[in-house]
């Protein structure tokens, strides 16, 4: 059995040094890259989990103010062990810093009228926390701030939580009156993003012997979502499906493919099939060669380096009799992906649309009062 070389992934992650825009010039355009983040050291794991388990946009629990901290405390040792197994911490900050630096270098060249550009990182659950980064941006006094979600496909639990946290911050802090704000909330079908995923898949397909290549199952995998959220009308499953469809079109429909869902938490029903169940099911059908494609993640982190590489590509594959399994690398610093980031922002800066009308809509069955208030606030913010 052949496995994806996870050591190479980790080495690349470690080399992706985080460097900020070094120009002494005041930035004209600030680009705040929003994501959930990940602990860079194991001693950050508890607080990271605590913020997740007490965020009602991400997960809803009964008596959450008490149950959330209990779950975080209980899960900390297990999650710390996983981070130790991938090198001691998440590389998501290093990748995001590198992506932002390369993006801004390109933007300074192709969009001099909005330069200098400076990227900032705003994580939801670990430093640099979004609210602290907002203070840094205010101190730099840019003319414009672009809130750029690093989740290409929108979900209320991920992108929505990050945007709601900005609303919550400014509900109790003064909003700068001299900054123009705009939002990039989803970009999961951008042609260059699609080309990036397709190239990552081609790179792995080429490693299979020619006699097997056309029969390799391309198994797209994305973070799962509770069916309760899906039934409220969360757009995430359809946007993931759109990304998958576009990638397969780019590949020319060369291989059998499917979509599965990973990282379910708790006993309630979530999107199915689970990624591990899909692998087991296909092996039973006689399909034993796979490429796993993390279609919703733009950089390596625990769910690629541990869940996919270790738990599925190594442990599960041996257990169920997989012949060969590989995992497509996340976009990371692939030149096509840096071009994608750059083009998404450049097109946004040139457009007259500060916010996508879809972003201002709530789910049809939304019951979250914060969402109602947040959407109203963003409508006003982006009209100034």
* Tokens coding 228: 């309760």
For residue 99, which phi and psi values (nearest 5 degrees)? -60, -45
* Distance in angstroms (rounded) separating the CA atoms of residues 93 and 121: 8
Asked if residue 108 lies in contact with residue 22, where contact means CB atoms within 8 angstroms, the answer is no
Residue of 275, 229, 328, 345 lying closest to 6 (CA atoms): 328
Residue 370 neighbours by CB distance under 10 Å:
16
Cα(173)–Cα(168) distance, rounded to whole angstroms?
9
Beta bridge partners of 3: 325
Both tokens of 223, joined, read 């973070």
Q: Which residues contact 175 (CB under 8 A, 6 or more apart)?
A: 381
Looking at 35, 164, 289, 343, which residue is catalytic? Answer: 343
Catalytic residue, candidates 117, 190, 306, 334: 190
- Contact between residue 311 and residue 327 where contact means Cβ atoms under 8 Å apart: no
Q: What is the largest CA-CA distance in the chain?
A: 63
Q: Is-catalytic flag, 343? A: yes
| Separation CA 186–CA 150 (nearest Å) | 8
| Residue 252 backbone zone (phi > 0: left; psi -120 to 50: alpha; other: beta) | left
HSE, CB side, 13 Å, CA atoms: give it for residue 104.
27
Which residues are annotated as catalytic? 190, 343
């Amino acid at each position: 059995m052949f496995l994806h070389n996870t050591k190479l992934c980790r080495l690349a992650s470690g080399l992706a040094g985080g460097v900020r825009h070094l120009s002494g010039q005041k930035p004209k355009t600030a680009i705040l890259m929003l994501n959930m983040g990940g602990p860079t050291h194991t001693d950050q794991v508890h607080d990271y989990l605590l913020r997740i388990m007490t965020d009602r946009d991400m997960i809803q629990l009964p008596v959450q103010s008490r149950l959330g901290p209990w779950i975080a405390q209980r899960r900390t040792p297990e999650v710390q062990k996983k981070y130790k197994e991938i090198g001691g911490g998440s590389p998501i900050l290093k990748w995001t810093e590198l992506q932002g630096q390369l993006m801004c270098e390109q933007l300074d060249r192709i969009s001099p009228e909005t330069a200098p550009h400076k990227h900032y990182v705003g994580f939801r659950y670990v430093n640099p926390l979004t609210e602290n980064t907002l203070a840094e941006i205010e101190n730099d006094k840019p003319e414009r701030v672009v809130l750029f979600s690093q989740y290409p496909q929108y979900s209320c639990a991920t992108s929505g939580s990050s945007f709601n946290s900005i609303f919550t911050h400014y509900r109790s802090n003064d909003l700068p009156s001299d900054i123009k704000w705009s939002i990039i909330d989803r970009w999961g079908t951008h042609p260059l993003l699609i080309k990036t995923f397709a190239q990552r898949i081609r790179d792995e397909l080429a490693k299979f012997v020619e006699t097997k290549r056309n029969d390799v199952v391309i198994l797209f995998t994305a973070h799962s979502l509770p069916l309760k959220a899906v039934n409220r009308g969360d757009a995430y499953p359809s946007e993931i499906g759109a990304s998958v469809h576009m990638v397969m079109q780019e590949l020319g429909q060369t291989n059998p493919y499917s979509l599965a869902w990973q990282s379910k938490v708790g006993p309630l029903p979530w999107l199915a099939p689970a990624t591990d169940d899909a692998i087991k099911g296909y092996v039973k059908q006689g399909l034993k060669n796979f490429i796993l494609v993390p279609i919703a993640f733009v950089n390596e982190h625990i769910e690629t380096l541990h869940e996919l590489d270790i738990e599925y590509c190594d442990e599960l594959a041996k257990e169920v009799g997989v012949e060969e399994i590989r995992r497509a690398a996340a976009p990371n610093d692939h030149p096509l992906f840096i071009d994608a980031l750059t083009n998404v922002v450049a097109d946004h800066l040139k457009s007259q649309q500060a916010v996508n009308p879809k972003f201002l809509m709530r789910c049809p069955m939304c019951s979250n009062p914060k969402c109602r208030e947040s959407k109203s606030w963003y409508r006003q913010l982006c009209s100034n």
